[in-house]
Copies of this chain bind each other. A is one copy, B any other.
Amino acid sequence: MKDQTKTVLDDLIELFSPLDYSTTDQHAAEKHINNIESFAKQSHKAIAIYDNKVNKPIYMSEAYRDYFGDDIDTVHPDDFDAVYQSSIDTLLYFKNNNIESQIPMHRLVRKYRAKINNKYVVVIEHVEPIEFDAQGNVWLSRITIDISPIQTPPYNVDFKIINIKTGDIITLDYSSHKNRQLLSKREIEILRLINKGLLSKEISDQLNISVHTVNTHRQRILEKLQANSSIEAIKAASNKGIIL
């Protein structure tokens, strides 16, 4: 559980890592905070602005603090993976469909359990990318969290991508979360090293396993991904969202 969590977070950080601060407009953050402030105060809405590079909020409304305090572990442990996975799936969807330019037109909306005043409740969260670097990487996101009118089971995490102009609803027809389970943690680890250009000998040294074991893993990876070569396997895993 803990390990899987780490993998999902690692992936998210990897997805945001190409972000180039030198090309971002530092005044934009201030502008967004100003735009939110009076509305957040007046409506007592839980709103935050996240810096995706450092994975931390740079602004939290009063209601956000009332609800979550300084607690960072607000997502229910059972929902944690799926919540972060939905962020990854969303970013991969934009990437794979070449609609980076349309990201500001879309909003991720998801339902999960979060800790409010030390009690887990079902919340509805909106994630809206609002600022980008010069390469179109998402820099700032606006997060809005509301308590859900539905507090009954099933407690599974639900998410949709909404086109905020048309109201069209995008349900992702693939789930990298499920695909990820196609390969074992060790197989994903090895595939990542292959993707970095490492040879079997170098991988065996790094992971402290025999070259024979590495090659057995390689064979199993190709079979599972129905690939004829390492290059094909990397492409397939990337398309399925298993590696980024």
Which chain A residues have a beta carbon within 8 Å of chain B's beta carbons?
A: 32, 35-36, 38-39, 42-44, 63, 66-67, 109-111, 116-117, 121, 124, 126, 128, 130, 142, 146-151, 158-160, 162, 164-167, 169, 171
Number of copies: 2
- Is A117 touching B166 in the complex (CB atoms < 8 A)? yes
CA distance A146 to B110 in the complex (A): 11
Most chain B CB atoms below 10 A, which of A66, A142, A149, A169: A149
Residues of B near A36 (CB, < 8 A) are 39
What are 9 inter-chain pairs, A to B, with CB distance below 8 A? A43-B164, A66-B166, A111-B150, A146-B162, A147-B160, A149-B160, A150-B150, A151-B160, A151-B171
User: In the complex, what's the smallest C-beta–C-beta distance from A81 to chain B, in angstroms?
Assistant: 17
Q: Which of B38, B124, B150 contacts A146 (CB 8 A)?
A: B124
Q: Which of B63, B148, B167 contacts A67 (CB 8 A)?
A: B167
* Interchain residue pairs A-B with the least CB separation, the first 4: A39-B39, A116-B167, A149-B158, A44-B164
CA distance A80 to B36 in the complex (A): 33
- Is B147 touching A109 in the complex (CB atoms < 8 A)? yes
A44-B165, A116-B167 given; A150·B158 CB < 8 A? yes
CA distance A169 to B142 in the complex (A): 24
A109-B148, A110-B149 given; A167·B117 CB < 8 A? yes
